[in-house]
């Protein structure tokens, strides 16, 4: 059963600084693009790189280890349709950023 959890304050995340958090053994990365927040599986499926530490260009994050790229809004990658990161709903309530986790 999914639940909304508070992961940060709005001021903790900005376009040049993503947030990484762990929930029940799962690492999730939260990005800000414009006024919108996106959350995806934070572990790169290539060799486990930390996507929250990747460079963000628009909605595209580049894994800091070997350069795989993912759209933080859709979880998709230009590498092909067989690779896709899970995405998680995000909402803001007051100063709090909340992510819906499974």
Residues at the interface with ligand FES (CB under 6 A): 44, 46-49, 63, 65-68
CB of residue 6 to ligand FES, shortest distance in Å: 28
Name which of 63 and 98 has its Cβ closer to ligand FES.
63
Task: Determine the Cα–Cα distance for residues 10 and 84; give it in Å rounded to an integer.
Answer: 27
Give the nearest distance from C-beta 27 to ligand FES in angstroms. Answer: 13
C-beta closer to ligand FES: residue 67 or 89: 67
Q: Which is nearer to ligand FES, 51 or 98 (CB)?
A: 51
> How far is Cα 32 from Cα 12, in angstroms, rounded to an integer?
10
Q: Hey, how many other C-beta atoms are within 10 angstroms of the C-beta on 29?
A: 25
Q: Which residue has the tokens 């959350």?
A: 39
Determine contact, residues 93/79, Cβ cutoff 8 Å: no
Q: How far is the CB of 4 from ligand FES (least distance, A)?
A: 28
Alpha-carbon dihedral angle through residues 95, 99, 100, 101, given to the nearest 10 degrees: -140
**Closest distance to ligand FES from the beta carbon of 88 (Å):** 19
């Amino acid at each position: 059963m999914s639940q909304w959890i508070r992961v940060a304050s709005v001021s903790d995340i900005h376009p040049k600084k993503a947030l990484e958090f762990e929930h029940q053994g799962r690492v999730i990365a939260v990005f800000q693009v414009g006024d919108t927040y996106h959350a995806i599986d934070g572990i790169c499926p290539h060799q486990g790189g930390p996507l929250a530490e990747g460079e963000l260009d628009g909605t595209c994050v580049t894994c800091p280890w070997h350069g795989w790229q993912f759209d933080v809004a859709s979880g998709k990658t230009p590498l092909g349709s067989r690779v896709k990161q899970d995405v998680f709903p995000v909402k803001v309530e007051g100063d709090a950023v909340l992510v819906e986790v499974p």
